Structure formats: structure tokens, C-alpha cells
Amino acid sequence: MPIAPKKAAMLFILLFGGILAGALGGLLGIGGGILIMPILRFIVGLEPAQAAGTCVVAVFFTTLGGSLKHFKLGHIDIRSIFPVIVPGLLSSLIFSLLFISLTQKDIWLDVATGIVFSLVALRMLYEGIADYFHMREETNSKSGIQGSMLAKMSIGGVAGVLPGLLGIGTGAVLVPAFAFALNAPIKIAIGSSLACFSLNAFVSSVMKLSQGFVQIQILIPLCLGTLIGSRFGATLNGLVTSPFLKVLFSMIFIFVACKYLMVFGS
């Protein structure tokens, strides 16, 4: 039996969107939720809670595929990020439980997501300009993530909030924290961010599946795309610099953030 044109178009959008989100996540270490959420929210038309639940499962596959590729490239040192992982898992669990109370007022999910998108966009814009004009110096450290146990645990705890509460990524927290606060090379920061976030996203995914906030029929083509895209993005990360992409996507994310925040004013 042939697939209806509308259904075929939606499958293509989900698959292509997943590939693009996965590639972006693998390249920049941001998880891909920054693209997946607006697709689910404004193109597919899911309610905020359903979009968040479906998004975080798709993002888990993005980060899993990307982190495996980065591990093979030598960008991840598990021992140095273990103190980040454990608090992140606990934080994701706690805020996944709080997620149910937030769904009582869906508008706050949109507003909070819009704020996060704005911060990510500004960070990417700054990094793109700084990289292009060589405003930042790359550290030569190759020994993994540096810093004290307390600093790592604090960063991990903060990073677990976003996947648990909003269903989107922690790359906006982890990549700059690893690169600037813990003095890691940017490629190690990106790979380590994906590794930590994959575990946070797994906890949040299990919780949101059990809470009934995941649309499986939408998730399958989306996850297939993210798995393909994340490995491509991670490979691309090992070959090219990305200042232009950061500036380009920051412009897109500012537009998306405004779209989310406009919900509050309507």
C-alpha cells in the first residue's frame, strides 16, 4: 500500500531534520535538540511536553553516535569526565521528576526553551566570530579535562538540568565549561560534552518514556536521521574548523528563540 503524500513528506522532514541535527550535534557538541525541538514543535505540531519528551530520546541517539565517533578520534578521556557524569545523572533524574509539574503550564516550557535557545545562539555567535578572527588561543593540553573534583561535579550537576527539565541539550553548558573553565582543547571539550550528555539524555529518555511524553511513530525516522548525521558531524569535526557554521546557525537559533518567546506574548 503506497504511503500518503503528506505522510511521506513528514517522514522526509523528520529524517532530513534528524540528519541535520545529528550532524550539527556531532560537529559542535550541542546534542542536536536545538534543531529537533522547533521541528517537533512548529512543523510536526506537537504540544510542548510531547515535543520535549520525543526530542530528548532523539538527542540521546545523536549524542551516542557522536560520542562513539569522538572516542575513536581520541577526543574523550572517560576517567577525567567521570566526576562530571555522576552528578549529571542525578540532576537529570531529579529534574525529570519535576518535569511533570511543569507540564501543567505548557507555555513555560516554550518560554524556558526560548531563553535557552537565545543563550546558545549568543554563545555560538561569539565563538564563531572569535574563531574567525583568532581571538581565542587553543590550549595544547591533551590529557583530557582538567580542573578540581568540585568544579567538575558542579558543572555536571548544572548540566543535568536541561535534559531533565526541557528535553534539550547540555552542550551549551558543557562545551564552554570544559573549554574555558577546565582548560580543555575545543575538540576534547566537544567530544567529552557529547559523552556526558548521552548519559544524561538516557536517564531523561527513560523517565519521559515512562511518563508517556514520547511519540514513538515520530521518533523512529528522527532517530535514524540523528544516528547518520551525528557520525558524519563528528567526522567533519576532525577535518574542518567551524566558525562560519557557528555564525550561520546562531542566526537561525535567534530566529527560533524569538518564535518560542512570542508564544508568551500571544
Identify the CA nearest to 171 among candidates 36, 46, 16: 36
Rounded to whole angstroms, what are the CA distances from 69 to 61, 65, 158? 12, 6, 25
- Cα–Cα distance, 217 to 197 (Å, whole number): 24
- N-term to C-term CA, the chain: 42
Per-domain boundaries in the chain: 5-265
Alpha-helix residue ranges (DSSP H) falling in 133-184: 149-159, 161-165, 171-176
pTM > 0.85: yes or no: no
Identify the CA nearest to 167 among candidates 126, 217, 116, 128: 116
Write the pLDDT tens digit of every residue in 154-189.
988 888 887 776 666 666 678 778 877 888 887 788
Write the pLDDT tens digit of every residue in 186-223.
778 878 888 888 888 898 899 889 989 999 999 999 98
**Contact (CB, 8 A) for 221 and 182:** no
Write the pLDDT tens digit of every residue in 22-60.
887 767 666 677 788 889 988 998 988 898 889 889 888
